[in-house]
Structure 1
Amino acid sequence: MRRRLAGQAQRSDPIPPADRTEPLPLSFSQQRLWFLNEFQGGGEYNSALALRLRGLMQVPALTAAVQELVARHESLRTTFKEVDGKATQVVQSVVDLVVPVVELPGATDAALDAMLAAEHGSPFDLRRGPLFRALLVRLADDEHVLLLGAHHIVTDGASMGVLVEELGILYAAARQGRQADLPVLPAQYADFASWQRNRLSGPALDGELDYWTRQLSGISPLELPTDRPRPQVRTTAGAMRNFVVPGEVAARLGALARAQGTTLFTALMAACQVLFARWSGQNDIAVGTVVTGRNRAELERLVGFFVNTLVLRAPVDRTQTFTEFLGTVSQTVLDALAHQEMPFERLVDAVQVERDASRNPLFDVMVLMHDEQRVPRTFSDLRVEIVDISGHTAIFDI
């Protein structure tokens, strides 16, 4: 179970290079985001990470480091176009990415947050690009905030961690006028997308489809009590609510999970499903979550959109104890992880639920547990800390 949850790679044939003489296909995850972007546009699928950098910044070295990062990862210089009615990836050979510097001396936290939020929400043009950008805000001679942003179609949460880690290494090397000590990448994202398309077509997908269609047959939407009617067409207007789980509660929940031979994530998922059952009055609860999709060694250091969405469905029997229900959810999680390669986009088509413009397909609530963000404490001689960015969009109800 630990191996599955950690996404540890198994030995297998390496991902071969894609045929660059033919149009490069999108991965299944990219295909869905392309469709959503064409249908509704907007900036709700933007990813961003902001870092406060304390110390004397060398802007030319930072610019050089960002440009090296773009040269290293094809995803950061990829755009999209249609060829014979199909979306394809176009890897640009060169992208001259400039890092704008905005002067905001002595800015309040509110002013800084407003600027970062506006930049974060600015939409990307998937056809023209670039789909990765950087902005440096100078608050003082020895204090800057660096905002890294990208469209989700070329990145994910793990990728943002890779970007920051490698950017720190590249910045240190640029300051010293030397080559950065980074390993050669064994593949690029376009290679993965082509390999995935070939691998998950035809009979290879049949076993995955059989499991998921059985698991999600007859699925019903979760009817949470709300303070206003659901709009006829789903919007992404929303907000973020932060709160802290007391350490004692987290420790007891972790102890419960260990005692039952499962994980903290599974215990949290079970608790949320019980809560949603109580709120809704329903006893069949389906909730979404994601897996990293990086279960091969050559994908660990790549930048790209690898995450896949899973649907975890559990019957809530009010005569059960919580530990009995936790056992049910634990098995559901293990089964889902064993079939995690099923692209969510193909799953939506296969289950054939009635489409509702006011809802997401298959589920409207997502439960995630993120690892601590992989951010170095220093960039060369700069001290680093994460800066929160206000969010005003919500893809799901919760």
Structure 2
Amino acid sequence: MAGWNTSPNVPLSITEQRIYDLNHRKALADLIARAMGVKGRVDVELFEKAIPNVVNSYPIFRCRYNDEPVYRKFEDIELDYLDIRHMSDEHITSFLRQFSSSPMDLGADQLIGLSLFRTGHDEYIFLVKCHHIIADGISLSKLWSEVLTGYLNLEAGKNYKPIVETMDFADYVNFENTYLKSARGQDAKHYWRNKLALQYEDVESASNQEIASIICNEINHNIMGEEFLQLQADANSENTSLFVYLCAAYQQTLGEFLQHDFWMNTNLSLRLKREHRYIFGPMFRYANLRACRDESWKEKLRRLSMEIKRAVRTVYAADAIGPHGSIGHNLNASRCYLITFLQAKEHQEGFAGVYTGEISNWNTLNDHLKIRTISLPTRLTPYGIYLSLADYGGQLRASFIYNVNCFTQAQMESFVGRWHARVICGAGGSMPPL
């Protein structure tokens, strides 16, 4: 395959096309940011050398998008270093929140920002911020892991060159285009276009409203121990996957709380496909799941099982109608809802938990360095609620990221309680009154 040998001529993937179009139709801060606290001895000069050495090995992070007609250009990335020891803890927190959520100009700005802030004698904050068009959250976590590996190798006096996979994002774009031109790809596009056509009038009637803000808050909820084992057993007894079971509970709860029509989407990451698991880039795919109020719990499980199976088979073409596609172009946050699911049994503890932002305890990196996650606000393409689920084997972690223009904290606490009751009760048992 051509790879990046013809870099400017590599076409945009479906995901890139949708985000590019959406950002030119609406003013959005479609950003992903991660902040890591670092405690111990840091060689700042070596850090400034090591981090760009890794990041610039991947063309997708160096990518810029010129205006119509869209084509790529590439610029190297550097690490920004800033000493902010003079700031109070309150000012540092406020500074990080503003810095991490400030908009990026898709046509003019560097689309990934790498910053090292010195906050104390042996205390630092490493901030990575990028536009969603060049990476998804999994890519950002993988990059975070690799840049620290690069730094530690150089610190130990070892030469370090990132291991670039035999396939990269340009190869994926080539694969995607080939797939979409195939008989199976054409069938997938036909399926999704017909599915959207059935919703066209509803989308049009729901789209003529003021767009809600993208400022979000978050509520986390854990299900573990015997309760989690029972949840897995309930899903198995219904002959369905845990993901389908959780989707059904989420959709059922939305139907109880929302008086208007809504659209629910699920994120089907291409990293489920082995050949693309280690590629950096915006790899996510969205599948639209039909929302039905008047059906039994078993009917909903059966319907969602079939819809998700179909979506997985046609996932390469599904983006055209997800939140970054035709539906997302027209609906505001109060109408759009998203659910994602990650099976990460091996990532419950340690460094991977820090990289993915799942835990905030200090983790020892070596004999003189520790790292931990620092919480940052979420600013993504508008959803009413974005429910992110992670199965850690003995625990289910549910993160309800909600739009503050759509819900109050009290409403969300009630929503989370109702979702939890539905997940545990399933078809049996009595649900508490609303």
Could you say which TM-score interval applies, normalised by the shorter chain?
Answer: 0.7 to 0.9
Query: What are the equivalent positions in structure 2 for 1:367-386 lying under 5 Å apart?
Result: 367-370=339-342, 374=352, 375=354, 377-380=363-366, 381-386=368-373
TM-score (norm 2): 0.74
Structure-2 change in CA distance of 1:147 and 1:230 (3 Å): same
* SS of equivalent residue, structure 1 residue 120: helix
Partner of 1:315: 292
Is residue 77 of structure 1 aligned with residue 62 of structure 2?
yes
Structure-2 change in CA distance of 1:379 and 1:167 (3 Å): farther
Q: Distance in 2 between matches of 1:65 and 1:324?
A: 54
Structure-2 change in CA distance of 1:394 and 1:209 (3 Å): closer
CA contact (8 A) 1:29 1:343 kept: no
Aligned letter for 1:159? S
Q: Distance in 1 between matches of 2:275 and 2:119?
A: 39
Q: Distance in 2 between matches of 1:332 and 1:147?
A: 38
* SS of equivalent residue, structure 2 residue 211: coil
* SS of equivalent residue, structure 2 residue 283: coil
Q: Distance in 2 between matches of 1:63 and 1:174?
A: 11
Aligned letter for 1:301? Y
Partner of 2:36: 51
The Cα shift of 1:236 comes to: 2.8
| 1:186 paired residue among 166, 175, 186 | 166
Partner of 1:12: none
Partner of 2:145: 165
Q: Distance in 2 between matches of 1:393 and 1:189?
A: 22
Alignment RMSD (CA, Å): 3.3
The Cα shift of 1:246 comes to: 4.6
Aligned letter for 2:169? Y
* SS of equivalent residue, structure 1 residue 342: helix
Q: Distance in 1 between matches of 2:74 and 2:166?
A: 17
* SS of equivalent residue, structure 1 residue 72: coil
Q: Distance in 2 between matches of 1:139 and 1:348?
A: 38
Partner of 1:387: 374
Is residue 107 of structure 1 aligned with residue 88 of structure 2?
yes
TM-score (norm 1): 0.80
* SS of equivalent residue, structure 2 residue 217: coil
The Cα shift of 1:100 comes to: 1.7
Partner of 1:5: none
**More displaced 10-residue stretch of structure 1: 387-396 or 48-57:** 387-396
| 2:336 paired residue among 364, 372, 385 | 364
Partner of 1:235: 212
* SS of equivalent residue, structure 1 residue 126: coil
Is residue 60 of structure 1 aligned with residue 45 of structure 2?
yes
Query: What are the equivalent positions in structure 2 for 1:202-217 lying under 5 Å apart?
Result: 203-217=183-197
Partner of 1:328: 303
The Cα shift of 1:329 comes to: 1.9
The Cα shift of 1:397 comes to: 1.7
CA contact (8 A) 1:172 1:379 kept: no
Q: Deviations over 1:129-155 (max 9, x none)?
A: 421111222222222111111111111
Q: Deviations over 1:276-305 (max 9, x none)?
A: 2223357x8641111212355453222211
Q: Deviations over 1:332-359 (max 9, x none)?
A: 2222112111142267999x88x98553
CA contact (8 A) 1:113 1:390 kept: no
CA contact (8 A) 1:169 1:379 kept: no
What is the percent sequence identity of the aligned residues? 19
Q: Distance in 2 between matches of 1:333 and 1:153?
A: 25
Aligned letter for 1:65? A
CA contact (8 A) 1:64 1:174 kept: no
Q: Deviations over 1:204-234 (max 9, x none)?
A: 5321023334445533759xxxxxx998331
Q: Distance in 2 between matches of 1:128 and 1:138?
A: 28
* SS of equivalent residue, structure 1 residue 185: coil
Query: What are the equivalent positions in structure 2 for 1:1-398 lying under 5 Å apart?
Result: 15-17=1-3, 20=6, 23-42=9-28, 44-82=29-67, 85-92=68-75, 95-104=76-85, 107-108=88-89, 110-180=90-160, 182-201=162-181, 203-219=183-199, 232-247=209-224, 249-280=227-258, 286-318=263-295, 320=296, 322-345=297-320, 357=330, 359=332, 364-370=336-342, 374=352, 375=354, 377-380=363-366, 381-391=368-378, 395-398=382-385
**More displaced 10-residue stretch of structure 1: 204-213 or 372-381:** 372-381
CA contact (8 A) 1:234 1:357 kept: no
Q: Distance in 1 between matches of 2:106 and 2:329?
A: 26
Structure with a larger share of its residues in helix = 2
Aligned letter for 1:288? N
The Cα shift of 1:166 comes to: 0.5
For these two proteins, the number of residue pairs brought into alignment is 366
The Cα shift of 1:70 comes to: 1.9
The gaps in structure 1 that reach 5 residues or longer are 1-14, 223-228
CA contact (8 A) 1:314 1:332 kept: no
Structure-2 change in CA distance of 1:100 and 1:337 (3 Å): same
* SS of equivalent residue, structure 2 residue 337: coil
Structure-2 change in CA distance of 1:119 and 1:41 (3 Å): same
